[in-house]
Amino acid sequence: MDPQLQQMLEQLRDVHHPGSTGWWPIAPGWWVLAALLILAAVSLVLFLRHRSRISAYKKEALVLLEQAHQEWQEKSDAAHYLSRCAEILRRLLLYRRGRDEIAPLSGTQWRELLENTGEGKLSESSLDALVVQQYRPNPEFDSEMLYQDLRQYIASQRPSAHV
């Protein structure tokens, strides 16, 4: 072989691999993915916070109803129990629908509103207890039925545009 060619071949180095690539800076696609994940996490937190705020009024109404029911079981004061139940419903609906719509209602109008709102319908005896019996000196009503009806009614309330 030609000495000059031999000398040139000896100057050649062996094949070498490039160095390892670093993880930083990351590719633009990873930046987009990270931004989307952060946006999704923030959206989820805001949604859950909004949802818990919306259902807070129902939880409070259920707690108040439970307290009134325990009081009723301890003291058996029918007029006070019916008054507390009506007050809880009025507070619930005032929050949901606004003072202008709910505050002026009484008697038949109040009964019609209770009949037509919520998916959990109140029984006739519960409606009678809340609208008529609470104003009688010795009210007669089924306390357990009223309690169950009110729990179902409160739980069935859907958020409105007012909330």
pLDDT digits (tens, 9 = 90+) for 66-76: 999 999 889 88
- 77-95 per-position pLDDT tens digit: 888 999 999 999 999 888 8
d(CA 150, CA 69): 11
Q: Tell me how far CA of residue 13 lies from CA of 4, 8, 22, in angstroms.
A: 17, 11, 25
What pLDDT is recorded for position 162? Answer: 52
